[in-house]
């Protein structure tokens, strides 16, 4: 498992109307708690008069970090149907928010489940779902005269050089696909005067 499915960019303000209530849908790619908090605060600030801000998110390679929030709606009637759409699309590192403006007619629990599910569904249908490769970062130390060999090796494995300190003992930091970690480790282990560590 070296990759995961997520959404390419944010989707905002999809609209679903149900018996006078309006449901605005939002989806954001999120990689950590900070981005998650920021997205939630942004929507709360943009829609202070909304009746409910219900949401669900999945993070982590297997979606192991997740939450569904009903924000005052009957338990299980909002966050869970939104969360189930994340599961249905097999995506992770995604936050979906459904903002409800109450329209005067109660929808009942089954009506709410249907509306929140539909809101999340149409929001995710507008998103571009992409497959992302997991990456790792490697730091390699080597002698100055080994530069060419090291850089040739890095380019062979499509590694991106992030930092390079050229002294007598050189240090290069590069990111590469996690799927290439073992291959590059093997090659580096065979070289003399080279040491390396992975940071992930």
Alpha-carbon span 26 to 79, nearest angstrom = 13
> What are the tens digits of pLDDT across the range 62-119?
899 999 999 999 999 999 999 999 999 999 999 999 999 999 999 999 999 999 999 9
CA atoms of 107 and 111, how far apart (whole Å): 5
100-85-32 Cα angle (round to 5): 85
User: What is the model's pTM?
Assistant: 0.81
Give the confidence band of 61 by pLDDT, cuts at 50, 70, 90.
confident
User: 67: which residues sit within 8 A by CB, 6+ positions away?
Assistant: 56, 57, 79
- Residue range 164-188, pLDDT digits in tens: 999 889 999 999 999 999 999 999 9
Q: CA-to-CA distance for 68 and 82, rounded, in angstroms?
A: 8
- DSSP for 34-69, written as a single string: HHHHHHHHHHHHH-TT-SEEEEEEEESTTS-EEEEE
């Amino acid at each position: 498992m070296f990759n995961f499915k997520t959404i390419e960019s944010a989707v905002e303000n999809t609209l679903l109307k149900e018996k006078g209530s309006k449901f605005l849908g939002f989806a954001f790619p999120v990689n950590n708690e900070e981005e998650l908090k920021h997205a939630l605060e942004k929507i709360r600030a943009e829609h202070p008069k909304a009746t409910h801000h219900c949401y669900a998110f999945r993070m982590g390679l297997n979606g192991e970090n997740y939450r569904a929030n009903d924000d005052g709606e009957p338990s299980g009637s909002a966050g869970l149907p939104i969360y189930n759409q994340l599961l249905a699309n097999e995506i992770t590192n995604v936050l979906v928010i459904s903002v409800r403006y109450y329209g005067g007619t109660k929808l009942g629990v089954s009506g709410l489940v249907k509306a929140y599910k539909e809101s999340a569904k149409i929001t995710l249908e507008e998103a571009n779902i992409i497959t992302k490769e997991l990456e790792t970062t490697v730091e390699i130390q080597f002698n100055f005269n080994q530069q060419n060999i090291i850089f040739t090796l890095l380019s062979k494995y499509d590694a991106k050089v992030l930092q390079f300190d050229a002294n007598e003992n050189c240090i290069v930091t590069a990111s590469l696909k996690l799927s290439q970690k073992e291959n590059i480790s093997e090659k580096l282990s065979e070289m003399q005067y080279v040491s390396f560590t992975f940071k992930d």
